[in-house]
Amino acid sequence: MLLRAPRLVVGLDTWRMLRSGELAVARITLVEPDIDLGTGAALRPGAHRSQAGHDSVLAAGARLLARWRGGRIELEGGTLHWPMPGALPLTVGVQHAQLRRLAELWDADVQLLLPASLGESLHLSVQMRGDPAEPHAMSGSLGFDGRRLEFGGWREVIRDPGAERYLPGGGLGNLELHAEFADGRLLRADGKVLAEGLAWRGPAVAAESLGIGRLRGDWQLARRGEAWRLEAHALESGERAPAAVSASVDVASDAESAQGRVESVPLPLLAAVARSFAPQLPLGQLSLEGVAHELSFDWNARRPAGERLRTSARLEELSIASLSHELTLTGLTAQLSGVDARLTLDLHGERAQLHAVRAEPVSLEGLVVAARFALAAEHGGWQLRTDELAISRPDLALAASGTLAADGTGGKPRVAAHVALKQADAVLIAKLLGPGALAALGAASAAQLSTGRIENADLEWRGTVDPARAPWSAAGSVFRGAFELRDASLGGLDPWPQLEHLDAHLEWRGPRVHAAIAAGQAGTFTLAGASAEWDALGERPTHLAARLTASAQPALAWLRAHRELAAYAPGIEDLDLRGDTRLDVDVLVPAAAGGSSTRANHAPRPRTRINAVLDGVRLRAVVGLPPIDALHGTLGFAGGHLQPSQLSGQWLGGPVALSVAERRDSGATALTIAGRGLAETRQALLAAGASDDAMLEGHAEWTALLTLLPGSEGSGLRWRVRADSNLIGVASRLPEPFAKSESVPLPLRVELQAGADTGQLRLALGERLRATVALHRSGELWRIERGAVHLASTAPSLPEEPVLTLEGRISRLDLPALLALWRQAARDAALPALRARLSAAQLAVGARTYDEVSVTAEAAPGGGTLELESEGLAGSASWPATVDDSHPALVHLSRLDAPQLGDGARSAGLAAALGPAARLSIDDLEWQGRSLGSLAAQLTFRSDGFDVGEARLAGENEDSHGSLHCQDGGACRAEFSLDSRDAASTLAAFGFRPELAANRARLTGELEWPQAASPSLATLAGSLHMRLERGVTRTAAAAEGGVPLALLTVPALTAGMRAENRDGVLPALGFSRLTADFELRDGQATVDLHFDGDAEILVRGRTGLLAHDYDEQAWILRGEQRLPAAVRRLGPTPKVAAVWLSLRELFAGSADRTRAALRLRGTWEEPMVTSAD
């Protein structure tokens, strides 16, 4: 030792010097000394530098102190150099130091300033008894108080192999120590510690350092007999814990056994201790939280190897998380027990929670957890095993078993596990797994799940665990499983729709995945069944086969909204299909070169096959054409191309066969539909918007070709139609040029081409008609903007103005039918204004025909007009836009010759063609060559019949009025009156023989007949009343023409008596009045007639209107036999006269019966009169 001091102060003990006579030093004070404790040892003979260490310094110091006789030595400041083996001496600053000796009593107190490698300051205090040269005999106490000590530096100072393993290799803190010893043996010790950042080097090779972030507490060490007890109370570490740590450890004096108990140890601290002793355990991959209660251990070196250490602990508030805390399981308790490196962990949780950190955090609460794990660490490796792991809650049940192990070679762990899952929320499971795990399993689309339930799932994994690689990657690995998915909803990946109500079974073996889908709903599609196979690595082809059913209309609407999918089924999106459709889809995606690492833009093109099975659907190929119903067949698509397909259905009331294909047309891919079928004319008329009036009957074969062309940029679909038919089997009663018989062929060709909104139609009907029209689309309908129709074999040109013209000549023209067609065409919103100029060789009005007629007509939405001119017929018709009672159609004929009475009724049919109400006027109505005068009538046509009102026929000598009411399915009822100023002329005008003349005549009647039958004498029923005044009967010769009016009877009666003169003319019989009543029924007329003239004649009986015969009885009264004046005043009717005669027969005798009674029989042409007696 080398000591230097700039100042030395020595205090002498005067009393001792006086007593002993020797120099006695009581106190030595060194000021700012510089003390080098290693110099003397290094310079001592035989000493080596390597030995000038702790032992030599301490031994030298003990010898020096043993020679000191007592007193007090003080140091005021200064430095102390402590030798360090193999390194520079350690320099310590001395604040104050004091050493006192009194005989065997020693007292030392030192205040040191430490170098930065050891800390801040150190305070040492020692009180002991004995000789320092004999440390085994010393007794006393030691105090140590270090501040902000750097614990790692003290390992170099102490250099004790026994103590070195317990000293931390790092950390900073305060340490207080108080120890008592006797006879060189430690009796007890206690102290306090407040430190942070403590770290101990692990006892095992390659072990992790044991680190404690913060440590604070008190401790005591004491002997208990031959054993030691270490107790620590209120220890606080940097880990969260509900209470301070307390520990009690008993160690045998021979260190052959030890027992201990620790309370409230933070689980991270316990795990760190375990990692330091068994670094091979995978505890570093987990983050453990919780507290270990009742942690106990019992170590006995006398037990067999492998059974020397026994441990147990109760873990509370346990949470287990991945190192990144992406998955955390909390709310657990566990019971831990073990023997040496074999541990058993019984895990429990009644309300556990599982939390997953994802883009959208996921939490499962209310989990019931029960599991037993066995962990063994031997031969540098480890094994974790469980036979019973169960996690459940009301909507989830998971059971697992298996082994996870690693050998001591440093290789990857190996797993052999089985997991079963039941009644789990599929969305929750997908979120827990996360996108990365789902992609690794080849189920990346599962991230799109919005609803669904895993009914049961089963997973088996045997192989190497490598987070950087797929679970099946290592050779010999087995990774397989299956699960049942129910009522799932899978979000669509644009442009595909969302899958709903999905039921599926999935299996996988390694990277190969197979899915069998039993049911589902994808937008408008119903999934009836599907299967899919794919490779999670993309090294094998992906195959999808599915059967879908859907309502065609919304499915096509969806396809039109996603034009990018048109490549899979080109052209079908432009069709109008309605009804249920089945799609069989088969998609094969070849494996990309390089597997899933291939760039997306170099992905191979899928090979797609689609079969659209149509079963009773409706097809509208283009807008404006009638739909094809009950369509059956299959449309096939392969490789993005439509395959030739055959379909069948019903169109226009008949069967149709279609061939659908695609072809190149003008550099583009066109869809073609070729059809052949049989059409019913009635359905064709209804489809064209015409009325079903049975004017066309029959069926006709036809062929057609429809070509659909994709539109260019900015334009829509373009299409062409060409249709042909010979119309054999069609009978037409339409007016010329459309009339034909069933067996006569009449070629019809229709050519139509159109785009999105415009088109052009060309039509040819044999050699009879050619038409060209320009079309414009309005919504679902096509309108004719302008056009021309020629009744000839040459095609017309389109007019410039918006009008449809009709020109040409025909052989026969039916006027009522023409009017009906013209007016119907005028109401058609698809037509523009109409204009016609026709000539006909023959015009038909009912049964009457007229030669060489010219017709001009115009029609527009506001109404129309028609004019005709011929030698026998001239007239016009006009009608407003809406025909009703207030606005009737007007029909005016300047002349009409009606050979038969029914021809006049047909004129009403002419008016009926103009609408529900018409005003008919005929300037000159002729009947059988006789002029009847002018006719005017108001006609009203109802859905269930028609009425004729305000009818007036004004002739030269007569004036008639009447009305008619006809009910469909019922009867026609007529009321009329005829007043004549010349009865003979009136009879002649109506075709009767003028056998009676009168200055005044009136005929009234009420008649009815079945509406379904034509008016005839056989169907008439009703009553007539006739009254003539101031006239004369005469027998007209048959040569004068006409037929006899059999109802008059008196001319026939006089003719039957054959009282002819030489010229064959019967004498005339004058009368002042003739009245008669008739009842008509079943072709018979009951006659009740009273003739009051030169003779009084009463007639009763019947007249056969069909048989043209008589069966009547007449009474001729002369003189007194005539009716008295009183009876006449009652009314000289036939009934009154008959009652009077009956009374006379009853009260008068036979002698009074002088009147003549005659019977009239025979035919109208040859009447016979005989006596009735």
The tens digit of pLDDT for each residue in 1100-1109 reads: 999 998 889 9
Asked if 95 and 113 count as a contact pair (C-beta separation under 8 A), the reply is yes
> What is the CA 1048 to chain-centroid distance, rounded?
86
d(CA 191, CA 176): 5
Q: How many CB atoms lie within 10 A of CB 223?
A: 13
SS3 at position 913: coil
Using alpha carbons, select from 793, 748, 747, 790 the residue that is nearest to residue 772: 790
- Provide the β-strand partners of residue 418: 401, 460
Distances from the Cα of 29 to the Cαs of 10, 22, 123, 180, in angstroms?
6, 20, 19, 29
Total count of residues recorded for the chain:
1173
Say yes or no to pLDDT of 297 above 80: yes
**In the predicted model, what is the mean pLDDT of residues 884-896?**
86
pLDDT tier at 774, thresholds 50, 70, 90: very high
The tens digit of pLDDT for each residue in 449-465 reads: 778 888 899 999 898 88
Q: Is this structure's pTM higher than 0.85?
A: no
Say yes or no to pLDDT of 216 above 90: no
SS3 at position 66: helix
Say yes or no to pLDDT of 43 above 50: no
Say yes or no to pLDDT of 53 above 60: no
Say yes or no to pLDDT of 212 above 50: yes
d(CA 647, CA 662): 15
Asked if 443 and 370 count as a contact pair (C-beta separation under 8 A), the reply is no
- Provide the β-strand partners of residue 363: 355
The tens digit of pLDDT for each residue in 944-969 reads: 888 898 899 998 899 999 999 988 88
The tens digit of pLDDT for each residue in 1078-1103 reads: 999 988 999 999 988 878 888 999 99
d(CA 800, CA 786): 8
- Res 1062: pLDDT: 44
Q: Half-sphere exposure of residue 694, counting CA atoms within 13 Å on the CB side?
A: 0
pLDDT tier at 275, thresholds 50, 70, 90: confident
d(CA 379, CA 892): 125
Instruction: Enter the DSSP assignment of 1121.
Output: G
- Res 403: pLDDT: 93
Residue type, 331: G
The tens digit of pLDDT for each residue in 552-591 reads: 777 777 666 665 565 555 556 667 778 888 888 888 888 8
Asked if 803 and 757 count as a contact pair (C-beta separation under 8 A), the reply is no
- Res 689: pLDDT: 65
- Res 599: pLDDT: 47
Give the largest CA-CA distance in the chain.
229
∠ Cα 788 789 793 (to 5°): 125
Cα-flanking dihedrals φ and ψ of residue 865, to 5°?
A: -140, 155
d(CA 927, CA 915): 27
Say yes or no to pLDDT of 1056 above 80: no
> Which of 204-208, 436-440, 1037-1041, 1098-1102: highest mean pLDDT?
1098-1102
pLDDT tier at 1123, thresholds 50, 70, 90: low
**In the predicted model, what is the mean pLDDT of residues 1153-1168?**
79
Pick 814 or 905 by higher pLDDT.
814
**In the predicted model, what is the mean pLDDT of residues 385-391?**
91
- Res 49: pLDDT: 42
Any idea which of 40-49, 788-797, 837-846, 907-916 has the lowest mean pLDDT? 40-49
Using alpha carbons, select from 841, 820, 813 the residue that is nearest to residue 909: 820
Any idea which of 96-100, 1044-1048, 1083-1087 has the lowest mean pLDDT? 1044-1048
Q: Which tokens hold the place of 1157? A: 């009674």
pLDDT tier at 787, thresholds 50, 70, 90: very high
d(CA 37, CA 57): 7
How do 362-378 and 342-356 pair as beta strands? Answer: antiparallel
Residue type, 928: Q
pLDDT tier at 712, thresholds 50, 70, 90: low
**In the predicted model, what is the mean pLDDT of residues 757-769?**
91
The tens digit of pLDDT for each residue in 302-346 reads: 889 888 889 999 989 888 888 888 889 999 999 999 888 888 999
**In the predicted model, what is the mean pLDDT of residues 851-875?**
87
Any idea which of 137-141, 213-217, 793-797 has the lowest mean pLDDT? 213-217
Residues 6+ apart with CB under 8 A from 127: 105, 106, 107, 140, 141
pLDDT tier at 1142, thresholds 50, 70, 90: low
Q: Which helix (H) or strand (E) holds 556?
A: helix 552-561
Q: Which tokens hold the place of 424? A: 């789990």
Percent over 70 (pLDDT), the chain: 84
- Provide the β-strand partners of residue 1101: 1087, 1112
Residue type, 308: R
Residue type, 840: A
Asked if 1077 and 1025 count as a contact pair (C-beta separation under 8 A), the reply is yes
- Res 735: pLDDT: 73
The full 3-state SS of 464-524, as one line of letters, equals ECCCCCCCCCCCCCEEEEEEEEEEEEECCCCCCCCEEEEEEEEEEECCEEEEEEEEEEECC
Helix then strand then coil, in percent of the chain rounded to 5, is 15, 55, 30
- Res 1143: pLDDT: 55
Q: How many CB atoms lie within 10 A of CB 409?
A: 7
**In the predicted model, what is the mean pLDDT of residues 17-46?**
74
Pick 1037 or 155 by higher pLDDT.
155
Pick 1007 or 281 by higher pLDDT.
1007
Mean pLDDT, the chain, integer: 82
Say yes or no to pLDDT of 42 above 50: no
**In the predicted model, what is the mean pLDDT of residues 256-284?**
80
Cα-atom radius of gyration of the chain, to the nearest Å? 66
